[in-house]
């Protein structure tokens, strides 16, 4: 798994070169707009509601002793919860709505890698949006299911600090999952795609780790995160798919 994670990270090294070579920027216009509008909306919501959530959580402590400490912890956990939820929603909205455009990008990259001319005329369709929504709703539910108990760990003294890195890893995995699916949608069914990512979770994790770190860069991160992460995920996923097919032949 460590090797696959490293490969998922290293794949970013050639992303800009691949985008320029294949003239892919034109496919990223609408997804970048979706990313910016979604990111700004969620960022504003996080800023507005984080203090209120922290205050509400602090009211759950009925005793006077330790109340000040609990209020401080509540403010931090409240902010973490809003940010975590915001990033979760951001990822899945952007990944789902960008599916038709990112499918085109992935197909062009695959055609280049296998030395064929891409036939893109039938790639953009509502079926890809539906598959993208289906995958991302499924991942959203699972991510929330994992994130809620991890957030609660943040309240536990001594071990509470592990909550943040665990949240990061969970979010990274599902971000990478979504990026990989833009390639898998052409090769595997819905169920087999889920199985494939599970068997190559290191690639998803490595790709998603860089994805999440890029979001920490104001504005520029939101603009570049999809072009770079989707290109990186496509090249690495295509490599694995092609190797798998050659072994089965």
Question: How many domains in the chain?
Answer: 1
Are the C-beta atoms of residues 155 and 192 closer than 8 Å to each other?
no
Q: Which of 17, 88, 86, 78 is nearest to 53 (CA)?
A: 78
98 close to 169: Cβ distance less than 8 angstroms: no
Q: What share of the chain is helix, strand, coil (3-state, %, to 5)?
A: 85, 0, 15
Q: Where are the alpha helices (DSSP H) in 98-189?
A: 99-114, 126-153, 163-184
Distance CA 108, CA 123 (A): 11
Residue 49 burial (C-beta neighbours within 10 Å; 0-12, 13-18, 19+) = middle
Cβ–Cβ < 8 Å for 201, 147: no
pLDDT in tens, the chain (249 residues): 888 999 999 999 999 999 999 999 999 999 999 999 988 887 787 777 766 766 676 666 666 666 667 666 777 777 777 777 888 888 888 888 888 888 889 999 999 988 776 555 444 566 667 887 888 889 989 998 998 898 788 777 778 788 889 999 999 999 999 999 999 988 888 899 999 999 999 999 999 999 999 988 888 888 999 999 999 999 999 999 888 766 665
Write out the residue range of the structural domain in which residue 120 sits. Answer: 2-248
For the record, the structure tokens of 214 come out as: 């890029």
């Amino acid at each position: 798994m460590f090797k696959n994670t490293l490969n998922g990270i290293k794949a970013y090294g050639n992303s800009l070169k691949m985008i320029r070579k294949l003239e892919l920027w034109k496919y990223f216009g609408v997804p970048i707009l979706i990313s910016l509008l979604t990111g700004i909306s969620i960022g504003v919501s996080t800023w507005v509601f984080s203090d209120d959530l922290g205050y509400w959580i602090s009211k759950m402590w009925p005793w006077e002793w330790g109340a000040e400490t609990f209020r401080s912890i509540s403010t931090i956990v409240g902010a973490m919860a809003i940010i975590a939820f915001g990033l979760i929603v951001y990822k899945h909205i952007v990944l789902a709505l960008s599916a038709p455009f990112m499918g085109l990008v992935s197909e062009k990259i695959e055609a280049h890698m296998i030395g064929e001319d891409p036939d893109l005329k039938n790639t953009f369709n509502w079926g890809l949006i539906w598959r993208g929504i289906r995958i991302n709703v499924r991942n959203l539910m699972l991510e929330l299911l994992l994130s809620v108990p991890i957030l609660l760990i943040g309240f536990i003294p001594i071990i509470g600090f592990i909550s943040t890195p665990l949240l990061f890893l969970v979010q990274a995995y599902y971000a990478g999952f979504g990026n990989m699916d833009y390639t898998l949608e052409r090769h595997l069914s819905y169920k087999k795609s889920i199985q494939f990512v599970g068997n190559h979770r290191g690639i998803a994790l490595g790709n998603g780790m860089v994805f999440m770190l890029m979001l920490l860069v104001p504005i520029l991160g939101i603009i570049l995160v999809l072009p770079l992460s989707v290109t990186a995920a496509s090249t690495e996923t295509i490599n694995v798919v092609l190797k798998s097919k050659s072994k089965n032949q």
